[in-house]
Amino acid sequence: RKEVEQDPGPFNVPEGATVAFNCTYSNSASQSFFWYRQDCRKEPKLLMSVYSSGNEDGRFTAQLNRASQYISLLIRDSKLSDSATYLCVVNPGGGYNKLIFGAGTRLAVHP
């Protein structure tokens, strides 16, 4: 079993749609959680951290359920520029940023 599992997609949605991505992780001792965004043939970049209380950044909302070892990302009012691969990321701890990445979920937003 992979340490971080995601639905690979692709999710094809029209502009303005709301789309949700889910992710599960296997290490219950994991300490911090993130969503990274990766554009085609570019490097991954941090989109947002994920907290148990849930957190929001504009149109993006992230949620963590530690009991279920489940992470989600909700994108509201999708834009063409949101088209990318969204990587679910877990830090198992240890005092440094040894991040474990999922394989990513591809999103394609069309006019």
Partner 1 sequence: GAGVSQTPSNKVTEKGKYVELRCDPISGHTALYWYRQSLGQGPEFLIYFQGTGAADDSGLPNDRFFAVRPEGSVSTLKIQRTERGDSAVYLCASSLGPVYGRMNTGELFFGEGSRLTVL
CB nearer to partner 1: pick between 15 and 70: 70
- Is residue 97 within 8 A of residue 91, CB to CB? The reply is yes
Cβ of residue 54: shortest distance to partner 1, in angstroms?
A: 18
- CA separation for the pair 78, 83 (Å, rounded): 9
Calculate Rg over the CA atoms of the chain.
13
Letters for 25-64 (x = contact with partner 1 by CB under 8 A, - = none) are -------x-x-------xxxxx--x---------------
Cβ-based nearer residue to partner 1, 42 or 66: 42
Give the residue with the Cβ less far from partner 1, 46 or 80: 46
Residues from 60 through 99 that contact partner 1 (CB under 8 A)? 87, 91, 94-99
The nearest distance, CB 38 to partner 1, in angstroms, is 8
Please name the residues in contact with 36: beta carbons below 8 A apart, sequence gap of 6 or more. 44, 45, 46, 47, 86, 87, 89, 101
Contact assessment for residue 98 and residue 37, using Cβ atoms and an 8 Å cutoff: no
Residue 58, amino acid:
G
Contact set with partner 1 (CB under 8 A): 4, 8, 32, 34, 42-46, 49, 87, 91, 94-104
